[in-house]
Structure 1
Amino acid sequence: MGFWNFAATTQFFLYGKRHFTRTGWESHKAKYEQPELLETVDLKGQVFIVTGANSGIGKEISQFLATKGANVYMICRSKERAEAAKAEIVAAGNAEGRVHVLLADLSLEADVRRVWDEFCAHRMQQGSDGVHLNGLVCNAGALSNSKTLTSEGVELTFAAHLLFGTYLLGSLAMPCLEATQQSRLVVVSSGGMYNSAFPSWEDATATGSSKYDGQFAYAYAKRGQILLCEEWARMYPQVKVVSCHPGWTSTPGVDAAYGTSQSYLEPLRTLWQGAEGIIWLLVADAAKLKSGEFYLDREPQVKHMGGAFFTEGSVTKNSPGEVADMMRLLEDWANDRRDSAKRVASAPLKAMDQPIELPKFMGKWYVIANIPTYFDKGTSDNVENYSLDDSGKTVMVDFTYKQGTSSKLLQQKAEVVNDKCTQWAISPKIGFFIPLRLAYLIVDCAEDYSTTIIGVPDRRYLWIMARTPTLPEEKLVELIDKSRAMGFDTTQIVRVPQNS
């Protein structure tokens, strides 16, 4: 550790003793502009996601939101602890039917994608406000003193705090947040970020030769969260994106990380004292929030203190180029592109080269088999019905299907985005057409327009469709073989019952 890193760490500790402790909270609270706001706020009809919600700060936030009438989705790793926490929250807040548990390990890409699909599917089943999301709180994380790799091969602290638990989940949620007025994305960071700039990618991901240090791995991820929120604030001005610090609070995480050393952090805050400033970020008038800032107890804070006499200095700052590199690599790693060879091997799927005649492609298509989205799973009698609007370039899509004995309809609108008419951008309609522009690639179409194969760029989903409710087995096998040749994992294909 260099001198100025040592200075930053020392000044962080001294600053923390004044501001992060219970004494600091009491001092800050005396200056609150609206001290009664949290007592009077009404959140009926609002929707929030809180990660790491079965204990500590996350549970405290979830309980407050539910008590004030909100619909709360608790993303937790342990089913047993999550259900116990949910029962306590429901009982305390008379919140039956408004508190929901979603299970996921947020250090895993697959879990984050699955749990987001589950949230969207559940909201869509609730009615016309299916994409309504007032706030996302990225609170979950892990601090390990020894280097630990997840089952996907990524260092645990980096994966849980920054890569998947914040970047990927926030990226997936952003279209819904943008579609909701006065929405906000709140990232629970830490004063630990004062100890370091965001380092080289090898050090941040623990893939280089440097000796692993759990405390610095945590600080790197937390500094990354601060930089990420700054970038997102510029990229998504419709959403209030802020990072924050709960202060030195008595939580299970602090107990596990510091043990007897936590005496240096005393007097520790209570859970409520650590959580209420974060709650304020969720419920205050959005106009009062400064997007991109780092908050403690309702006020923006300095982000650096590595200079002499508590000045910012430069040792913990990153250049614009370093931040741009971080954002680019987060995007790559969050989408399973973790080395140059793999990036070539996993080149995105492209639409077919042969153009189609769009009018001939219109009409009814029966889904014979698919690699299902979460929304498709367990459905039957799936039919896509296409029609052109007056412009001849916009396709109106009626997707009908059955869940059990109930018939369902999902309307969508597709913009044709290439001259060959084989690449579309689809927006689902849930009360209104939401601006998701999901990729829709026609990768195969029979000359007589009797069958087609539809895919998405990362090959995660696939639809084999025909003009008739059934296909001869040999024809279906032929289409599955074509799909395999295009790089789809055909072991994931399921056949869709057509009973009508």
Structure 2
Amino acid sequence: MSLYRNVVWFVKGMREYTRGGYESASKNFVANDTDVSVEGLAFMITGGNSGIGKAAAMALAKKGGTVHLVCRNKEKADVAKEEMIRESGNSEIYVHLLDLSETRKVWEFAEAFKKEFSSLNVLINNAGCMVNQRELNTDGLEKNFATNTLGVYVLTKCLIPLLERSRDPRVVTVSSGGMLVQKLDSTDLQTERTVFDGTMVYAQNKRQQVVMMEFLAKAYPRIHFSVMHPGWVDTPAVATAMPEFHQRMRTRLRTVEQGADTVVWLATTHANTSTSGGFYQDRRVVSTHLPLAYTRSSQEEVQEFMSKLETLAMSVRPSSADG
């Protein structure tokens, strides 16, 4: 079955996820959907100094939004900030330093942010990683899971009170079509009992993001949650984590602006973006499962996963956290 999923997914990817796939899909876009001013609205973007995150942040800055860049590297973040101010003429760009793989620090950052800022309209969970060897963070958690799943969960849950107090609150999570080859597995969240394959661990994390956001959408109806697949994009992260794929596909990869298009659309559009919790690709809701792939999860499996996530999150929650 995994071979079937991989073959079907790759064929689908060559047709839809490439630059040509974007160009074909964009013919059906409503041109003025993102022609809006977001002045007065605040956006937080993790991994906002590079790749898709930077392209989305630049677009939001040009539309007049207040942009909070959450990044690991201060030097790169400062350079990105200055570039955004220069190109957009918008000085409301803020840099926050955070390594999303360090879960305890995610708690601390989110609590401090809520105390300093009175509103947050849109959270964009963009930062991610694909570590190809099993590594642990300072809390003893596997790094891919800590960054892509648990860090996203803690940051989102912690900021929900602030989002709920703000106008038109939204959470946009940058996932991956790679999640289509994985069924949710809540029995081995940190790849302790199976052979470690960084690509498949990443795909499992991305499936976890989809399940997580579907769950949170039901739990917090005041907020619009969405997950999106940017397609196959030419980013520094892809070049580093998947050098062979990047080399083989480089002429077909999307630009970062094309990859960020649906992020910006979900963060700003006044168009009907369907039911909260949807999975989007090129400005439309798409299925979270391949045909005959048997990747659907039962309610019991989803509940088990979310319960384990909450338990892990609380296990590293600092005593100073009060949110």
Other-structure match for 2:181: 195
d(CA) in 1 for partners of 2:124, 2:234 = 19
Residues 387-445 of structure 1 show CA distances to partners (whole Å, capped at 9, x for unaligned) of xxxxxxxxxxxxxxxxxxxxxxxxxxxxxxxxxxxxxxxxxxxxxxxxxxxxxxxxxxx
1:148-159 mapped onto 2 (5 Å cutoff): 148-159=135-146
Residue of structure 1 aligned with 2:313, choices 334, 342, 355: 334
Paired AA for residue 326 in structure 1: F
Separation in 1, partners of 2:174, 2:53: 10
Q: Is the 8 A contact 2:150 2:313 kept in 1?
A: yes
Structure 2 CA distance, aligned partners of 1:260 and 1:213? 15
Q: Do the aligned residues in 1 keep the contact of 2:108 with 2:321 (CA within 8 Å)?
A: no
Percent of residue pairs bearing the same amino acid type: 34
Partner residue in 2 for 1:168: 154
Contact 1:182 / 1:286 at 8 angstroms: preserved in 2?
no
> Could you tell me how far apart the structure 2 residues matched to 1:237 and 1:29 are?
30
In the alignment, the residues of structure 2 paired with residue 187 and residue 461 of structure 1 have an alpha-carbon distance, to the nearest angstrom, of: 24
1:324 aligns with 2:184: no
- Residues 281, 289 of structure 1: 8 Å contact kept: no
Task: Give the TM-score of the pair, scaled to structure 1.
Answer: 0.62
> The residue matched to 1:72 in structure 2 has which SS?
strand
Q: Distance in 2 between matches of 1:247 and 1:277?
A: 10
The residue correspondences of 1:58-457 to structure 2 (distance < 5 A) are 58-96=53-91, 98-123=92-117, 130=118, 132-164=119-151, 166-202=152-188, 204-208=189-193, 210-262=194-246, 263-264=248-249, 266-285=251-270, 287-305=272-290, 311-314=291-294, 316-336=295-315
Cα deviation for residue 26 of structure 1 reads: 0.6
Who is 2:33 aligned against? Answer: 37
> What residue identity is the alignment partner of 2:68?
Y
After superposition, what is the alpha-carbon deviation per residue over 1:430-463, rounded to whole angstroms, capped at 9, x for unaligned? xxxxxxxxxxxxxxxxxxxxxxxxxxxx74379x
Query: Which residue matches 1:401?
Result: none
Shift of 1:277: 1.2
Call closer, same or farther: CA 1:81–1:461 in 2, change over 3 Å. closer
**Which AA in structure 2 matches 1:26?**
E
Count of residues in Structure 1 that have an aligned counterpart in Structure 2: 321
Structure 1 residue 286 displacement after superposition: 6.4
Compared with structure 1, are the counterparts of its residues 89 and 312 closer, same or farther at alpha carbon in structure 2 (3 Å cutoff)?
Answer: farther
Aligned AA (1:302): S
| Secondary structure, counterpart of 1:244 in structure 2 | strand
Q: Distance in 1 between matches of 2:122 and 2:49?
A: 18
Structure exhibiting the larger radius of gyration computed from Cα positions: 1
SS at match of 2:31: coil
* Amino acid corresponding to residue 327 of structure 1 in structure 2: M
Q: Distance in 1 between matches of 2:304 and 2:174?
A: 23
Letter in 2 for 1:213: D
Deviation at 1:147, TM superposition (A): 0.6
Separation in 2, partners of 1:50, 1:286: 22
Q: Which residue of 1 aligns with 2:7?
A: 10
The Cα offsets for residues 133-154 of structure 1, whole Å up to 9 and x where unpaired, read as: 1100001011011111112111
* Conserved 8 A contact 1:240-1:289: no
Shift of 1:201: 3.0
Deviation at 1:266, TM superposition (A): 4.8
Q: Deviation digits for residues 179-233 of structure 1, max 9, x if unmatched?
A: 223211011000110111111432x21232x211111110110000000111111
The letter of the residue matching 1:232 is L
Confirm or deny: 8 A CA contact 1:49 1:73 kept in the other structure.
Answer: yes
Aligned residue for 1:359? none
Where relative contact order (Cα < 8 A, 6+ residues apart) is larger, the structure is 2
Whichever residue aligns with residue 180 of structure 1, its letter is S
Structure 1 or 2: more helix by fraction? 2
Give the Cα–Cα distance (whole angstroms) in 2 for the partners of residues 461 and 255 of structure 1. Answer: 37
Residue 28 of structure 2: SS of its match in structure 1?
A: coil
The 2-side partners of 1:327 and 1:17 are apart by: 33
Question: Amino acid of the residue matched to residue 138 of structure 1?
Answer: N
Alpha-carbon distance in 1 for matches of 2:161, 2:72 = 25
In 2: Cα distance, 1:292 partner to 1:100 partner? 28
Counterpart amino acid of 1:300? V
Give the structure with the higher percent strand. Answer: 1
TM-score by length of 2: 0.95
* Secondary structure of the structure 2 residue equivalent to 1:11: helix
Contact preservation (8 Å) 1:185, 1:240? yes
What are structure 1's unaligned runs of at least 5 residues? 124-129, 306-310, 338-345, 347-457, 463-500
Determine the structure 2 residue equivalent to 1:341: none
Q: Is the 8 A contact 2:107 2:321 kept in 1?
A: no
Give 3-state SS (helix, strand or coil) of 1:321's partner.
helix
Provide the alpha-carbon RMSD of the alignment: 1.7
